[in-house]
Amino acid sequence: MSILIEGRSFEFLLLILASAFLAYYIYSARRGYRPQIRKMAPLEAIPEAIGRSVETGRPVLFSVGTSTLYSGGAPQTLAGLSVLGYTANIAVELDVKIAIPLLHPEVIPVADEIIRQAYITAGKVDEYDPVYSVRHYGKHTFSWTSGILGHLQREKPGAFIYMGSMLADSVMVAESGHRAGAMMIFGTASSGQMPFIVAAADYSLIGEELYAAGAYLSQDPVLLGSITGQDLTKALILALILLGTIFMTFGIDFLNNLFSM
Amino acid sequence: MTYYQKQLPLLITGILIVTLIFTYFVDIPGSSLYTDELTAWAALVGAFAIALIGPFNLIRYHAGIISKREPDKWLLSVYTIAITIITYAVGVFISPIGASTTLQDMYNTLLVPCSATIYSLTGFFIASAAYRTFQFRNMETSIMLLAGVLIMMKNAAVGGVIWPGFPIIGDWIMKIPNTGGFRGIMLATTVGLIAYGVRLILGFEKVHAGGT
Amino acid sequence: MALEKLSDIDRRYIYLLLLVLLAYPVLFPIGLPIQITHEARTIYDDIEAIPEGSLVVMQMDYSAGHAAELGPQSRAIIQHMFMKRLKIIMPCFEPEGPAQTVITMDGMDTFDAVYGEDWVQLPYMVGGESAVAAFASNWPSIVTTDHFGNPLEDMPIMKLYNDANDVVYWFAMGGGSPAGGGSYGPAITQVVARYGTPLGVGALAWGAPLVYPYYESGTIAGLLIGQRGAAEYELLINKPMSAVASTDSISISHLYVVLLIALGNVGYFSRKFRGERK
């Protein structure tokens, strides 16, 4: 007699395994283990994009996407905020203004703190202008999108870095960014928008790469450990898929029965 | 007070997540009362966030711009706050729970045309994005170009008239390579969400509780 | 030189011509044939097979921006449900859902269906997936009145609904992606996974690649894609409406984009060969 609900036993086992991998590697990373994450071209391009802004005397536009800090898209927002920290540090060091228009007011204090910290680190706290840097273009997706479209046309940033959850705004802001002459580095795990950013942006991070980017740039041990645990979980799933395909091809029901336990 | 501000919210978050997951896998008599109550509370808190905290933050932010008289911005902030207050007042006092049509009329005449206009820009921008980027530059862009054209011809009603093979090939692309690719992406995204949940349970994610 | 300019056409002319090509078939319909897809026919057959008087849920979750595609879909599906004399509950988990439902129901032939007995429009229920879960399991915990302020406990139709086990068919509209909080995602996890209720989905055209994995695995019973899906359904129920009228525009605009891509490539290769010759 099983205490688990019928049909959910294998799911439970998989969840426990995935959680165990994650917890193990998070705690390992906190004790000093530093997994190697491969370099990603879009992240390498961020200093180049900011340098371009310096040369042309134009500001940088950054966006952390359309999600909040507690919804399903929160991991993407958090990854975007990690990239914001990295970008803001470089921009402030090179005396380039950076603006971040936000869709959700609850993200405002977090973004404000990140950029303020960059100015403090560079010893330029008096130059920080929160009204310029942290903007709110309304809570509706399309009001925010039209705000960004206007921003792109008015201020013509040299670099447009958009890392986070995306909705239907991605292709619109990408095309406007291209017309404004901005170098565009986009990243999202929003499945529906990946094709658009791959087509329209100069550099793109899709899916897992966005989460890895946040870990890579922040070097936060928790995020680094998470990435390693996630990769191990995905390897396990991949192994199950391959084995399942082989077994089913030869008519062996073992894994099929295991999955529906 | 530090413990109650910092540690207690994280502890509550972790306990709630673990117990909710537990009730999904283990059939405990009466657990549906617990899950129903929690989901009702989640909806209630969400309602307050949208109805009160959202407009409050919006007004606070724009009031700051108005008080500083930022050139080119403060008038727009006045307009934003005025529209917010008017819509709020209409919804709460004039159109209680849809009894009158004022809020619906405002929605039909203001929001619908604006939203539809901005969203319809997507079509124009996609046309120019496709014109700009869909070129036979290398293997990846060539495959993207061919797949894009074939899917467009499948989706267009006239595609099947021009050549009956377009719907067949388009269907195959959607059902085989597309399904396989997106399954992989969805798996990876879902594992990322599981990782986020584990970090919440272990208390490493603190932003929702006011941490950094 | 001239060929190279084909990849440098001013965007404004591209947009202007696209606008003309989109508007012309609406004003002067061409009448191009529409092929009915298997995905749309599956939904039609499933709803046709539902006995009269059965309870169905029509989840109206789309905003004004998505109404051009999802509005005609919902209108066609709801019309079919009324034609079949089904009892329809219309919950909304998107803030603009109730307002869009009012727009959709305006002018709808309800086949003498009585509000409160045969159909009911519910208000916006906050909470996303939590709200869907609560509605699917214990609706009084999340909603007590309809969109117009009438108490639900007095309505005969709501007495038929305890949880999703009482629903014969669940149709979810949605403008987002499943993982990102889109409206049919919660229906998959909270209704199909928990109760096994058959689910039909109305998706935006750009959201179709995301929904296909669920359709191919059998998680979703049927699928309407964009305005084309709405047009197919209008033809299936023999009530051509706005979607059929717009299909010519879709066809012409798709052909135009293919032409643009071809011109862009001509310009690209012309520039490339000129560079190689030098």
When pLDDT is cut at 50, 70 and 90, the band that residue B100 belongs to is low
Angle between helices C67-83 and C226-236 (to 10 degrees): 20
Q: Which of the other chains make 3 or more beta carbon contacts under 8 angstroms with chain A?
A: B, C
The tokens of B25 are what?
Answer: 């896998």
Beta partners for residue A187, in sequence order:
A163, A205
Average pLDDT score over chain C: 90
Which amino acid is located at A171 in the chain? V
Whether C133 has a pLDDT exceeding 60, the answer reads yes
Distance from CA of C172 to the nearest CA of B (A): 20
pLDDT value at residue A185: 96
Is residue C181 pLDDT above 50, yes or no?
no
Q: Which of A33-42, A90-99, B2-11, C76-85 has the lowest mean pLDDT?
A: B2-11
pLDDT reading at A15 higher than 50: yes
Which CATH number applies to A41-218: 3.40.50, 3.90.660, 1.20.1050, 3.30.1660? 3.40.50
* Closest approach of C49 to chain B, Cα-based (Å): 26
Contact C128 A71 (CB under 8 A): yes
Using an 8 Å CB-CB cutoff, list chain B residues near A208.
188-189, 192
Residue-level pLDDT at B96: 60
Candidate ranges A244-253, B71-80, C164-173, C177-186; pick with highest mean pLDDT: C164-173
Q: Do C177 and A190 touch (CB under 8 A)?
A: yes
pLDDT at residue B99 is higher than 70: no
Mean pLDDT confidence for C99-104: 93
From the list A72, A142, A195, the residue facing C180 with the nearest CB is A72
Distance in angstroms (rounded) separating the CA atoms of residues A251 and A244: 10
B11 touches A at CB < 8 Å:
no
Find residues 62-121 of chain B whose CB sits inside 8 Å of chain A: 62, 64-65, 68, 70, 73, 80, 111, 114-115, 118-119, 121
| pTM for the whole structure | 0.84
- Assess B204–A contact: CB distance below 8 Å, yes or no: yes
pLDDT of the residue at A236: 92
Buried b / exposed e over C101-114, threshold 16 CB at 10 Å, is bbbbbeeeebeebe
Tens-place pLDDT, residues A57-104: 999 999 999 888 777 788 889 889 989 999 999 999 999 999 999 988
**Which tens digits make up the pLDDT trace of A111-151?**
999 999 999 999 999 999 887 898 887 777 888 898 999 99
Q: What is the pLDDT of residues B32-54, one digit of tens each?
A: 788 878 877 877 777 777 777 77
C186 neighbourhood in chain A, CB within 8 Å:
none
Amino acid identity, position A110: V
Reported as a pLDDT band with limits 50, 70 and 90, residue A6 is: confident
Tokens for B197? Answer: 């949940």
**Min Cα separation B137/chain C (Å):** 9
Give the range with max mean pLDDT: A35-39, A67-71, C248-252: C248-252
% of chain A exceeding 90 in pLDDT: 47
Q: Which CATH number, 3.40.50, 2.60.40, 1.10.20, 3.10.450, labels domain C38-240? A: 3.40.50
Who among B26, B114, B193 is closest to A3 (CB)? B26
Q: Which of B42, B116, B179 sits opposite C64 (nearest CB)?
A: B116
C67-83 helix and C242-277 helix, angle to the nearest 10 degrees: 150
Confidence bin at C179 (pLDDT 50/70/90): very low
Q: What is the pLDDT of residue C180?
A: 44
How sure is the predictor about C275, in pLDDT bands with cuts at 50, 70 and 90?
Answer: confident
pLDDT one-digit tens code per residue, B126-136: 898 889 888 88
| Total residues belonging to chain B | 212
Buried b (16+ CB within 10 A) or exposed e, C242-257: bbbbbbbbbbbbbbbb
Q: Which of C11, C65, C210 lies nearest to residue A192, judging by beta carbons?
A: C210
pLDDT attached to residue C72? 95
Binning pLDDT at 50, 70 and 90, where does residue C1 land?
low
CA dist C233 and C45 (Å) reads 11
Domain coordinates of chain C in residue numbers?
4-29+248-277, 38-240
Residue type, A149: L
Residue C204, Ramachandran bin (φ over 0: left; ψ between -120 and 50: alpha; else beta):
beta
Binary contact (C99, B128; C-beta < 8 A): no
Nearest-CA distance B55 → chain C (Å): 15
For the cut 70, the answer to whether the pLDDT of residue A48 exceeds it is yes
Q: In this model, does residue A1 exceed pLDDT 70?
A: no
What is the least distance, in Å, from the CA of A72 to any CA of chain C? 6
User: pLDDT tens-digit profile of B172-189?
Assistant: 998 899 888 888 888 888
| Residues C207/C176, Cβ–Cβ less than 8 Å | yes
Contacts of C127 in chain B (CB under 8 A): 39, 42-43, 46-47
Q: Are B57 and A105 in contact (CB under 8 A)?
A: yes
Least trusted range by pLDDT, from A97-106, A174-183, B198-207, C51-60: B198-207
Closest-approach residue (CA) in chain C for A72:
C180
Q: Please report which confidence band the pLDDT of residue C200 belongs to, taking 50, 70 and 90 as the band edges.
A: very high
Short-list C170, C156, C153, C75, CA closest to C116:
C156
* Triad C115, C119, C123: Cα angle to 5°: 95
Reported ipTM? 0.82
Tokens of A170: 């991605």
Most confident among C64-73, C126-135, C179-188 (mean pLDDT): C64-73
Q: Over range A163-176, report the average pLDDT.
A: 89
Look at residue C182 and tell me whether its pLDDT is greater than 60.
no
Interface of A with C (CB under 8 A): 67, 71-73, 141-142, 165, 167-168, 179, 189-192, 195
**How confident is the model over C18-40, as a mean pLDDT?**
89
SS3 B156: coil
**Banded model confidence at residue B1, pLDDT cuts 50, 70, 90:** low
By mean pLDDT, which of A28-42, C64-78, C175-189 is the weakest?
C175-189
